[in-house]
Amino acid sequence: MREEVSLAPLTTLQVGGAARFFAEVHSAEQMLAGIRWAAGRAIPVFVLGGGSNIVVSDRGFAGLVLRNAITGIELRDGEDDSKLLTAGAGDQWDDVVKLAVANNLSGVECLSGIPGSVGATPIQNVGAYGQEIRETMVALDAIDTTSGAIVTIGSNECGFGYRTSRFKTIDAGRFVIIRVTYRLLYNGSPTIKYADVGRYLEERGRDKPGLGEVREAVLSIRRAKAMVIDPGDPDSRSVGSFFVNPVVTLEQVAEIERRFAGNQQSPGRIRSFAGPGGMVKLSAAWLIEQSGFVKGYQYGGVGLSSKHSLAIVARSGGTASEVMELARKIQARVRAETGVQLTPEPTFVGRE
């Protein structure tokens, strides 16, 4: 157990204060011991994974931060041509994708390059380029902090939605994930649903790409947007996409079109995708840009990535408070210009 440990270096945004108490745990038993230690002192607990989707307050966290370092990847036979891959919550997610592709297992190749750890994937229902975790996840093991028991939760019990799950909503903070199991298809065809991926492959003459080629395509596209962590690229000092793409009705789309009608700087066709249940998924990046926030926009020590308007980045000297101020500024302007409320994707830790 350590005291007053800076959390900024443990996050991809690299801002924020210190944890009052801090410990790295390597087993479910150590995790449970830490939870009980905090309960005995009536202090809050935050479980830290890869730090890729959190904003830590400049004032830090006044309780115990447990860094989840439970690792261990196992492959075993599943039904028919499937394989079951189980990984510890502290394993790096992209290591899992790399291993799957190397073993000719399809189902997660489009999730290449996403920073963070395995434990976060079901919480966020992580998704990108046409794939989501709920499509391959079988079950997870977790500590139920209300009872101290280790429970197994099936995929159909996770309450998955677009970039969400029961672990972010009704059961936020209740479960600490320790391992996750995915079902992947041996020798399966790669997923190519997004135009960016298809175009990248077509330009290189890959008419029948394999899993490895799709992984490289996704990694290249993400790097071009600074969505792969790179110490040499200041634009990657972010939490990735700061806002989720909003899902709206056809009536809301028509209202946005009316708002822009007659505007000499009309943005043209709204950038959108088919959403669930006849709804429409709008590009949050497009909404941000049409509301006056361009790539590279600066706000004090923070700003928008010069490569992707959906990423808020922290420059040298930037603070968590500035990140939150800019996020609220963007939300207010987008709401005023388009009538759409943007929802932040990262978790906010500590007090502002």
Catalytic residue from among 132, 213, 216, 345:
345
Q: How far apart are CA 175 and CA 166, in angstroms?
A: 10
Nearest CA-CA partner of 244 in 311, 163, 347: 163
3-class secondary-structure state, position 50: coil
CA distances to 29, 54, 64 from 40, in Å: 16, 26, 12
Q: Secondary structure of 209-251 in the HEC alphabet?
A: CCHHHHHHHHHHHHHHCCCCCCCCCHHHCECCCCECCCEECHH
Q: How far apart are CA 311 and CA 130, in angstroms?
A: 20
Q: How far apart are CA 319 and CA 214, in angstroms?
A: 37
Tokens standing for 230? 């790179």
Q: How far apart are CA 329 and CA 345, in angstroms?
A: 16
In the residue annotation, 215 being an active-site residue is answered as: no
In the residue annotation, 345 being an active-site residue is answered as: yes
- Written as one string, the DSSP assignment of 277-327 is GG-EEE-HHHHHHHTT--TT-EETTEEE-SS-TT-EEE-TT--HHHHHHHH
List, in sequence order, the alpha helices (H) in the chain. 28-40, 93-102, 120-124, 195-203, 211-224, 250-260, 284-290, 320-338
Catalytic residue from among 163, 223, 333, 335:
163
Q: Taking the chain, what is the end-to-end CA distance rounded to the nearest angstrom?
A: 25
Give Cα 156 distance to the centre of its chain.
Answer: 21
Catalytic residue from among 112, 236, 241, 291:
241
Q: Which residues are catalytic?
A: 163, 241, 345
